[in-house]
Every structure is written in C-alpha cells, then in structure tokens.
Structure 1
Amino acid sequence: MSFTTPLPAFRQSRVPVEESLPMRIGFSVPQFGPFADPHRSAALCSDLEAVGCDSLWVADRLLSPLVAPVGYAGGRMPVRYGTHLDPLLALGMAAMATDRVRLGSSTLNALWQPPLVLARALTTLDLISGGRLEVGLGLGWMREEYEATGVPWRGRGARLEETLDVLEAVWRSETVAHAGPLWTIAESTVLPKPLQRPGPPILLGGFTAAALERVGRRADGWLGASMPLPYFRDLWSVAVEAAERAGRDPAGLRRVFRVNPEVTATGAPQGEEHRRGTVRQICDHLKSMCEAPGDEVLVDLQLTVDCSGRFLDLAAEFMAELA
C-alpha cells in the first residue's frame, strides 16, 4: 500500500501530564436515549466539568437495527441507541458549555463523509473549543450503517489510511494538494487551520492486529477499552512493535480505556471486573490497566443510568475511586 501524502514526524501528545495525577478521567457526553436532549446534555456537560473530570467524549451511532446485526454478541442492541444526537454537533455544544475539559470522540466513524469535509468540521470544532479537541477515529463495525451511508464495507482499512493522509495534508500545509485512489484535491487554499499545531491529536480505535499496527505506525494514541489484562497486553505489544519499526517512541503514544459499566450492588465474579461489578471493582481493574503516565479512562454511563441526578452521582463515585 502506498501513501500519496508524506507522514509527518512523530508528534508527542499535546496534553500535559500532571505528575500528581497518574491517570486522566473522562466521561461520555450525554447524547443517547433519555439524554438525547441538547439542553439537558449541555447542562450535564457543565456539571461534569465541575465534578473535576479531565475530558468529555462523544460516540457515533447512526441507527439501531430492530434485528441485531450479525456478530453482535449482546442479542438485540440497546433500545436507546436508536435515539441519538449527532456527535460533532454534540461536541460543539459541549465546547460551548465548558471551559477547561478536553473534548474528544470515541469513536467517530471516519469513513461516512469525505475527509476534506471531515477536516473542515474538526478544524471548526478545535477553534470553537479553544484548542481542546481530541480526534478519535474508528472504522465502526456495523454493516447496516455502511449500507445506509452508501460507503463500501470492503476496503475500509485503505479508506482510513487515505482519510488520515488528507487530514494531515489539510492541517499541516498552507497549500493543500492530494492525489489518491479515492479522493483528489486540486492545489488549494484551505483555511483556517486548527488552533492546535500541527493539528489536533489523532487517536485510533480498534481491537485487531491491523488496527493496533496502524496506531503504532501513525497515530498519537489508541482508543481502547476495559478488557482482561492478558488480552490488553497482547494487543498493546502490536502497537509498541509497530512504533519501534517506524522509528517512533512507543512511550509517546497515549491510551484511553473506555468502560460501559454494569454497576452492581454486590461484587461480580472474578474475571468480569473489566465490565461489571461494584464501582470499586471496576475502578480497581481500570487502575491496573493504566500503567503509564497520562493513561486515561473513559466512563460511559449512558447505558447504566436513566436520570441526570443518578448520572452525576455515579460520575462522582467513579471520580472518587479513580482519583
């Protein structure tokens, strides 16, 4: 596979790491089900920032099939995934409702719009937020969403590689030009540029060897998940080896671990702590994953609670245990 746009030199994370804070703590932007109300979501974002978290993250869901997609392990998809706010607009709303927290996507499906259009939207968000944007991109996993957007399912990896090429070209150069297998951009002026230079950090999701190889080779970090430690270490070793082959320092790669917790009143059986159990159980497992300075956890409570008050109470419990 060839790349038409040269890759930039390795970029260290732009997010300062406080030595006194071994891990960073983020929460989901409320945007699904009963939280898919802009005013309610904006108020909760402001409240979450006041709780003391470091970041807020949107997710990307286009539809919720009535028949569970092939390969979906949980039976029928959660009903509330059928009610959702647009992730980029929700992120703009969160930017206006907050002053300090970093704002990211975990994950934004990178392939449902042309990369030049995506670059424009992300640049605008970085400017609106005062340079607080984290660009988290993934391939998605649901064929039905690809069919609905008219984007081919096959060739997703190559499409993502070229999308990254275009983002880098738009953000790095005053005069932008690109000629690739999928998109052509005539030599053009594309302004303004993001506030963060040479562009917002790009973190990539995925749980395959190919996804982790791409993280190590060209991303600023990985959007992972809470998982059993042996599985996590095997996956991460792929990114480390890829970074070393590319002449990059693996220690500069950031990691964000998402958990959609099933909180129980009593302890969960051993081996399930990565996804369910008491708040302390779940947090202890997350702490065991956060081995490097600057590691971050993302707690998504939208499937866990139904009301704003319980959302904030539980967020405060997770903050207390993790911090």
Structure 2
Amino acid sequence: MDLGLAVPQFGAFAELSSVLRVAREAESMGFHSLWAGDRLLTPLRPKDRYPAGDGRVPEAHRVFLDPFAVLSVAASATTTVRLGTSALNACWYPPPVLARSLTTIDHLSGGRLVAGLGLGWSSDEYAAAGVPWHDRARRYDATLDALEAIWTTDPVTFEHDLWTIAPSHIEPKPARRPAPNSNRPPLYLAGFAEPALRRVGRRADGWLTGALPIPVLTAMWRTALRAAEEAGRDPGALRMILRSNPVVTGHGTPPRSGTVAEICAYLATAAEAGVHEVILDLQHTATNDQHLLELAGAFQGYLSAESAAS
C-alpha cells in the first residue's frame, strides 16, 4: 500500500514555509504522494452538513489556500512524489480553465499530476461560484467529457449546451499517462452514492474514498468494480485511494480518532480489503510543522511494520 500526505493548506498550516518544508521532508521520508483539497468558503449558517465528524465545518477551514497554487509550490520543492487533488470540486470551473490549471501542474512537475475530482457537498459554495446546484451531476459528466476532449484531441472541439469550444489548439497536453495507450493523466473520482461509484467504474482510473467502516467500504468498491466490468473495462486496473483525517488521541474510536497504533490497525485492515493508497491529512491534529512531520513518521513506521508482518 502506498502512503500519501496532505500538503499543508489550511488553518495554521496555510503558510509558504509549511508547504515547502513538509513537501520536501515528506519526499525525503519516502512518502509516495502529496495531495491538496478544495474549499471556497465557510458559511456562518451553512445550508448543508459537513460530511464528517459532527457535521460542522472544521474551524481550521476558515483559512484555506488555493489547491493549484499549493501543488505548484510543492512541485517546485520536490522531484519524485506524485501530486494529487483530493478532490477538486470540478463543477466550479469551466473545463478549459480546469484543464489548463491541472495540465500546468503536470507539465511543470514533469508528469506527476494525479487528477482527483468530485461534486462537492456545499450548496453555499456552488452559489458563491455562480454554479447551479440542482443540475450538478449532469454538469459533472459534461465536465469529464470536455476534459477528455481537451486532453486527448488536437484540434479540440466540444459542443454542449453548457459550453462550446470552437475548433482550437489547447496546449500543452498532459505529460503523465496512467497506461501506455492513454492520452490523459490518471483520473480519480470521489463520491459514495451508487451513481458516483458506477461513474468511477465506467470512466476513471480509481476511486477517492474516505475512512469508512470496512464492510461499507468493500460494498461500495464492489459497485465500482461491477460497473467497470459491465462497461467492458478491466476491474483489476482500478485503484482505491482512501483519505484519512485522524485526530490522534490517547484513546479514541478509529478511524476518526485514536492512537497512531489504533488508526494504523484500521488502515492495515483497509489495505487487506483492497485499498491501494492512503492519504494522511494530519492538519486536524498536528500543532505545527514539526509535530505534523513527527506524526507522519510515526504513521509511516507503524504501517511499514504492519506490511512487513503480513
């Protein structure tokens, strides 16, 4: 199982010095990837519950750096780690703008981009971005279609009632390929509802998930794999990437909280259940850069020991 780390981005970690230090040291420690998320605002009276914890938006999310800028800085400070988004709210961005931002990171990092996209959960953020909430699934599918056209064809032409791309050159093309016969970067999709899981199976390279109970996780994963098989794709080629946002305590309830050992026991079980990569986001529990890196090293050590013992 590969191990990734959320790059500093929000709360007390929304600083250039934090991004640079953690990115460099995570790579030297042997982490396989660095990841950035996508938040636009923190409403005072949110219309929707935050999809984790007690349903309240974490206080630290009041300060949240742009994911494209953060990954660009991380790219400049590293040479080998993959650089992923977990996950961008794809519908907020016109497809040519989204493609340009992602492809720029891929191009400047020497092909290390992993594009992770999702629908998001906050209707307040959609309203602020000027994007309709009610039709978001159709807009999402159209965005994926447009990205495919932009990344894989030249000249690019795209006709839809939402956007029109006149015959145009859109360069550069992505450098990274998930497979020899693919013309786009690795694409991972988030979501937990059946339509989202079936979309993963039909058109993505894998699934971005959260730290769910193992039976729930495996049942959802089977839905994605069945959809891949029904679409004539190889289910064995799909990868599952799990994001863990733990609060490290003396005693808790894994996977949301607990000791490093307790949370790693859950993650090791998740690996046995089919998880290919874990993204650790330690910004909810670390107090500063040094503490974050110490925790990252502790998780890495426990998971390495679990892997060697299995």
Does TM-score exceed 0.5, indicating one fold?
Answer: yes
Q: Check conservation: 2:208, 2:240, Cα contact below 8 A.
A: yes
Q: Distance in 1 between matches of 2:107 and 2:62?
A: 30
Where does residue 243 of structure 1 map in the other structure?
Answer: 228
Deviations 1:196-253 (A, max 9, x none): 2411101000111111010001001000111101111111111011101100111100
Q: CA deviation at 1:69?
A: 4.0
Identical aligned residues as a percent: 49
- Which of the pair has the greater relative contact order for Cα pairs under 8 Å at 6+ separation? 1
Where does residue 284 of structure 1 map in the other structure?
Answer: 265
Q: Distance in 2 between matches of 1:125 and 1:77?
A: 28
Q: 1:174 to 1:294 in 2, by over 3 A?
A: farther
Are 2:124 and 1:144 aligned? yes
Are 2:157 and 1:172 aligned? no
CA RMSD of aligned residues (A): 1.4
Q: Distance in 2 between matches of 1:191 and 1:75?
A: 41
Are 2:39 and 1:61 aligned? yes
Deviations 1:156-181 (A, max 9, x none): 11111111111111111121111123
Q: Distance in 2 between matches of 1:251 and 1:160?
A: 25
TM-score calculated relative to the size of structure 2: 0.92
Structural mapping, 1:9-88, within 5 Å: 23-72=1-50, 74-88=54-68
Where does residue 277 of structure 2 map in the other structure?
Answer: 296
Q: Distance in 1 between matches of 2:224 and 2:188?
A: 12
Deviations 1:263-299 (A, max 9, x none): 1113x3xxx3222111111111111112377700000
Structural mapping, 1:1-323, within 5 Å: 23-72=1-50, 74-197=54-177, 198-266=183-251, 268=252, 272-291=253-272, 295-323=276-304
Question: Which amino acid counterpart does residue 279 of structure 1 have in structure 2?
Answer: V
Question: Which amino acid counterpart does residue 192 of structure 2 have in structure 1?
Answer: F
> What are the ranges of 5 or more consecutive residues in structure 2 without an aligned counterpart?
178-182, 305-310
Q: Distance in 1 between matches of 2:152 and 2:275?
A: 25
Q: Distance in 1 between matches of 2:165 and 2:200?
A: 25
Question: Which amino acid counterpart does residue 49 of structure 1 have in structure 2?
Answer: E
Q: Check conservation: 2:107, 2:172, Cα contact below 8 A.
A: no
More helix by proportion, 1 or 2?
2
> What are the ranges of 5 or more consecutive residues in structure 1 without an aligned counterpart?
1-22
State the 4+ residue runs in structure 1 displaced beyond 4 angstroms: none
Question: Which amino acid counterpart does residue 199 of structure 1 have in structure 2?
Answer: R
Q: Distance in 2 between matches of 1:34 and 1:133?
A: 26
Secondary structure at the counterpart of residue 290 of structure 1? helix
Q: Distance in 2 between matches of 1:85 and 1:125?
A: 16
